[in-house]
Structure 1
């Protein structure tokens, strides 16, 4: 076994219950100036000195990753951050995407446990302490599973379809209705940082690396303030990237469709297909059907080819313009 494939060792279960640990909270930021004051207040309430002592947390650090925001998000964090707990602000040179921001936070994290939470407060920060408790019971990965969620019926339907399709196509077992909200031990973070790919789908890779997992169900509310940054276009790209990154099943389905068409063609010839030439009403639906299969195969192939093209170029997942640290005043 090569040395670079060895992740950090797990903390023994028998000493976890009363062990004083550190936690990093990764928060991707993109044009979230409206919600940042409330977000910092909620985080400080969760990781108050009383809660820190009660849950045996020696340090809680906020890792904010500014993904090329065009508003005052970075300036607000520089001004308000570090009031009660340490803060580190990682600022990108431009917008590299939500998954890139998560990857940057994971790369910068060095705590005993690392949490990921969205800035819009749809993932309640209060649940992070429950996740720490599940980690102490032996789980190296704790993921939040949405029992219910607020939002438009169309988006809720699309999310439900995607997660079930993604689970069906994935080569590893992935939890349903689970986003990036969760907590990971140091071995999981180390394993993720060892992975070489640059186009990353965090929730899929979190399942791929293995380790013991635990589920925490919760009810996902509406955004606290501001507007969602995930348009249908971005959600579509996220879904296709997630499937292409974790499964080759679509390629196999294309192969199966080609084989089925070939068998059908032989069956039609054996059934006296030449005699049908006098009636051409069948030609249009057959051509539409076969062309649809061909175009589907090209679509699937293009998704994987485009991903290979981007990976082969070897460009970094993100570029950091500056890193700002703030300590409690």
Structure 2
């Protein structure tokens, strides 16, 4: 049973095929939270992205053993960012901490997050000063964080992932944002409120394999840039303008040279071909940029659900201070039918 006199901390954990990491993560979180149990109750909110292994079975068994574990399984894989956002929306705590299941982010840092939160910060995020990854992928990540900050109208922290603590007030603001392709690292940074970064060394994964392929990382990068910047559209506009001006000046020059200086230009097959190919390339490039934005508009206006929850295991007792409470018709421990967020 939770004590309503104490604050509740929600630990949000998105999972996909992490059967070997469920119990180690639970044990680590329980060990850490025992050190502040005089001030805080806690819950673990798992969002399962329709895992194909025994992850959901492990989560159900864990939830049956500990009512503080709440499990929401999706009808399909909706993506990492949507999984995190659903966890935030389901969190009942005075604050929520998102942490990956693979334990590459140190759970010990949660205590530091809590200290900074108690000192007044509304968002406390981890800054990865080192990673146990290859040189090339690490360099790509560093370039991306600085590129998106440069392109964005708002300042976005460098080398900051999703490992963070978010205050209830910020979570409530996040609930009001309707974004079909959320990029939470950037969205939270743009909401304002006192925010603080804590540097740490990210460990290597000990069990299982990363579910992020290179194309997933690039997709996340594009989502981040398109969500926080219209610079690519401006680049397309300005480049098109510059090319148009150069083309016009070239036409004027060739016309004047032919009329006044009697120049007899040789057949410019190579030049003409190069210009045609350049024009086609620019058109294709900038139509692609515009298409990316149009595609996001298309997904947004369709108003599809953020996620669809197929199964829920939630035995957590209600709290008088619950902000979200249980959904209509739900009872603690009841298996929820398919619901949408």
TM over 0.5: yes
Q: Does 1:263 align with 2:245?
A: yes
Distance 1:107 1:327, change over 3 A: closer
Q: Scaled by the length of structure 2, what TM-score is found?
A: 0.84
Who wins on radius of gyration, i.e. which is larger? 2
- For 1:157, what is the secondary structure of its paired residue? helix
**Shift of residue 150 of structure 1?**
1.4
> 1:272 is paired with a residue of what secondary structure?
helix
Q: Aligned to 2:294, which of 305, 314, 317? A: 305
* 2:63–2:313 Cα contact (<8 Å) kept: no
Match of 1:76 in 2: 58
Aligned counterpart for 1:324 among listed residues 309, 313, 328:
313
**1:7 is matched with which residue?**
none
Q: 2:19: which partner in 1?
A: 33
Question: Contact 1:35–1:224 at 8 Å: present in 2 too?
Answer: no
Conserved 8 A contact 2:67-2:314: no
In the alignment, structure 1 residue 315 sits paired with structure 2 residue 301: no
1:214 corresponds to 2:196 = yes
Aligned partners of 2:62 and 2:69 also within 8 Å: no
Indicate the residue corresponding to 1:45 in structure 2: 31
Structural RMSD (CA) = 2.0
Confirm or deny that 1:127 pairs with 2:112.
no
CA distance in 1 between partners of 2:155 and 2:216 (Å): 24
Q: Structure 1: any 5+ residue segments left out of the alignment?
A: 1-18
Task: Determine whether 1:107 maps to 2:93.
Answer: no
The count of residues paired between Structure 1 and Structure 2 equals 306
**Where does residue 278 of structure 2 map in the other structure?**
289
SS of the residue corresponding to residue 219 of structure 2 reads helix
CA distance in 1, matches of 2:147, 2:300: 25
SS in 2 for 1:158: helix
- Ranked by relative contact order (alpha carbons within 8 Å, sequence separation 6 or more), the top structure is 1
Q: How far, CA to CA, are the matches of 1:300 and 1:279 in structure 2? A: 31
Q: Are 1:44 and 1:85, in contact at CA under 8 Å, matched by a contact in 2?
A: no
**Taking structure 1 as the reference length, what is the TM-score of the superposition?**
0.87
Alignment partners' CA distance in 1, 2:308 and 2:77? 10
> C-alpha separation between the residues in 1 aligned to 2:248 and 2:267?
20
**Structure-1 separation of matches of 2:266 and 2:139:** 45
Q: Secondary structure at the match of 1:142?
A: strand
